[in-house]
Structure 1
Amino acid sequence: MPTENAGIVSRMPGLAYIGLVLTPLFWAGNAVVARGTVDSIPPLSMSFWRWIIALAILLPFGLPGIWRHRQVIRQRFGSMLALATFSVAAFNSLLYFAATTTTATNIALINATIPIFVALLAWILLGDRTRPIQAVGIGLAIIGIATVVARGDLSVLTGLQAQPGDLIMVAAVFSWGLFSVLLRRQAVPLPALTFLTTQILLGTLVILPFYLTDLVLFSGGFDLSQDTALPLLYFAIFPGILAYGFWNHGVHQIGPARAAIFMYLTPVFASVLAGVFLEESLGVFHIIGGLLILAGLLLATQTGKRAGYRIKDR
């Protein structure tokens, strides 16, 4: 974008708010579209081709930066590979696997607890000080997750009868938490576009052997048609590239603390979209679990030391 246009955008904070509203809408759409198409596109195919498309779009813009900063990338290759594995490769692949056996609403509710996992892992791995009010918030959010996973029935947990997709989604959120904490510990001094393009490139290479194994031995891939191509384009463009750009612009304009509040819209949008397009209905356990998660997020993220994560891609 030309400098003069960038200056105009920076003087229009209203655009930042619009982008921050659209970002959770795109993330919610990621869960809903995945749930609606997972019978047509295997999860690993969904993850792999999403990033191939995103890479094809970004590479012409990001490749010059990769070349200019090749020395930094070479020196920090191990760190960047670990970051790409936990974010681009693991998080998204696990999310799409979760969509095979749980609802889009559950995915979005569990996904909303990412700040909790970041705070918890930052306390365990980085020694961040956790105040009592933050600990209460983390506890409430964990109870909220358990309520959603158990579907309001304690015997589901005690009898180990939880939906596999809910547990896989917890693993996905844990993976993103590890990425966020590692990003703080092993920060890589690269421009945003160069970092994102490199992460997608490395993450796609990590997914590749798993995708090929699944293609040959298990799923057999999918038939390319309008019904499968359009969801893949959505995954690549909207929750990937556009949400990333909107989020980072919003954080720059209004600050990370205020921008983080917009994350709470994701399960709201997801429940509405899932009700309209997938005919999913909200249960009492969704409402109770969602309120507990929301209360936990408010307590854990607005008091004390910030977890300090940035969302790169989802």
Structure 2
Amino acid sequence: MPSENPGYLSKLPGLAYVGLVLTPLFWAGNAVVARGTVDAIPPLSMAFWRWVIALAILLPFGLPGIWRHRQIIRQRLGSMLALATFSVGAFNSLLYLAANTTTATNIALINATIPIFVALMSWLLLGDRTRPIQALGIALAVTGIVTVVARGDLAVLTGLQAQPGDLIMVAAVFSWGLFSVLLRRQAVPLPALTFLTTQILLGVLVILPFYLTDLLAFSGGFELSGATLAPLLYFAIFPGILAYAFWNHGVHAIGPSRAAIFMYLTPVFASILAGIFLGETLGRFHVIGGLLILSGLILATRAGRTALADRKPG
């Protein structure tokens, strides 16, 4: 469980490395489980109930901090609502929508470009200086995304035949880039647990009208059973609460640049899990696109961008 004062954990770097390996595994599992359950649980139901369950788990621990820091929350409510909209509200909702029409492997590959989108948005909106090596990294990663979206066939792009899920996933990482830039521009001075609990609470309120519209007018919801409850619990606990705690502990213990390297494991884990559980196979375009994305990420992160220290939800 996240702590209001995690300083004592910084003395446990071994635990940090274990957590940083588990974090991309949980993020990969988020894509694989979502892809495997989209026929049983509508995407907006998936997003809404994931965060409701996470909130129910966190609230007993986070509520005292919310009360203690209520003045700051009230003063920064507009900023926190915007942050919650782009992160808790939009990011996973879009990811689960993407799972309807694309593979878990594609989701993970595109998701791995989040540092690139953060750097790009920081350059466009905050005026951060971009070094030539970072610009090259961004260009390579974007080329990798285009390769994955086009499935290695230029005719897919020129004929506007790209899978909707791939484009929705690009919108998801774009949303996370906006969140990260806003987080830097409008930093909210709250302890980690208080911030997370407040973000989830506001994010649930953001998703609620979309969930109700989908429930009443489109999907009709889903039948609660062991087969549908298990993935929701996984979404809430593993890529949600635990991945957040492990990621922030890792960044605190070994630094953002070294922690960021572990993000590269997400598509590796996803391709393995998707092959085992979903029968997905890797195409040549996955390998080429993945190598371009990996090369771009390495070049961009070698430039020492502080944006990689931003909080990451799964």
- Tell me the alpha carbon deviations over residues 85-117 of structure 1, each in whole angstroms, 9 at most, x when there is no partner: 000010000000000000000000000000000
Structure 1 position 306, deviation (Å)? 2.9
Q: SS at 1:307's partner residue?
A: helix
Tell me the residue number matched to 2:70: 70
Tell me the residue number matched to 1:187: 187
- Tell me the alpha carbon deviations over residues 219-250 of structure 1, each in whole angstroms, 9 at most, x when there is no partner: 00000000000000000000000001111111
Structure 1 position 193, deviation (Å)? 0.2
Return the alpha-carbon distance in structure 1 between the equivalents of residues 55 and 306 of structure 2.
Answer: 31
Return the alpha-carbon distance in structure 2 between the equivalents of residues 70 and 12 of structure 1.
Answer: 32
Structure 1 position 12, deviation (Å)? 2.6
Structure 1 position 309, deviation (Å)? 4.0
Tell me the residue number matched to 1:244: 244
Tell me the residue number matched to 2:49: 49
Return the alpha-carbon distance in structure 2 between the equivalents of residues 304 and 91 of structure 1.
Answer: 25
User: Which range moves more in the overlay, 81-90 or 8-17?
Assistant: 8-17
Structure 1 position 301, deviation (Å)? 1.6
The reply to whether residue 103 of structure 1 matches residue 100 of structure 2 is no
Tell me the residue number matched to 1:40: 40
1:243 is matched by which residue type in structure 2? A
Structure 1 position 311, deviation (Å)? 2.1
Return the alpha-carbon distance in structure 1 between the equivalents of residues 253 and 304 of structure 2.
Answer: 22
Structure 1 position 302, deviation (Å)? 1.4
User: Which range moves more in the overlay, 282-291 or 296-305?
Assistant: 296-305
Structure 1 position 142, deviation (Å)? 0.4
Return the alpha-carbon distance in structure 2 between the equivalents of residues 309 and 142 of structure 1.
Answer: 21
Return the alpha-carbon distance in structure 1 between the equivalents of residues 122 and 295 of structure 2.
Answer: 20
- Tell me the alpha carbon deviations over residues 171-218 of structure 1, each in whole angstroms, 9 at most, x when there is no partner: 000000000000000000000000000000000000000000000000
Question: For the Cα contact (< 8 Å) 2:260–2:308, is it kept in 1?
Answer: no
RMSD of Structure 2 on Structure 1 (CA)? 1.5
Distance 1:66 1:7, change over 3 A: closer
Tell me the residue number matched to 1:220: 220
Q: SS at 2:102's partner residue?
A: coil
Structure 1 position 9, deviation (Å)? 4.5
1:283 is matched by which residue type in structure 2? G
Distance 1:65 1:37, change over 3 A: same
Return the alpha-carbon distance in structure 2 between the equivalents of residues 7 and 137 of structure 1.
Answer: 34
Distance 1:7 1:163, change over 3 A: closer
In the alignment, structure 1 segments of 5+ residues that lack a partner are: none
The reply to whether residue 291 of structure 1 matches residue 291 of structure 2 is yes
Return the alpha-carbon distance in structure 2 between the equivalents of residues 49 and 8 of structure 1.
Answer: 33
Return the alpha-carbon distance in structure 2 between the equivalents of residues 97 and 299 of structure 1.
Answer: 31
The reply to whether residue 169 of structure 1 matches residue 162 of structure 2 is no
Q: How does 1:296-311 map to 2 (within 5 A)?
A: 296-311=296-311
Structure 1 position 13, deviation (Å)? 1.2
Question: For the Cα contact (< 8 Å) 1:122–1:128, is it kept in 2?
Answer: yes
Question: For the Cα contact (< 8 Å) 1:84–1:202, is it kept in 2?
Answer: yes
Question: For the Cα contact (< 8 Å) 1:43–1:96, is it kept in 2?
Answer: yes
Question: For the Cα contact (< 8 Å) 1:196–1:312, is it kept in 2?
Answer: no
Tell me the residue number matched to 1:83: 83
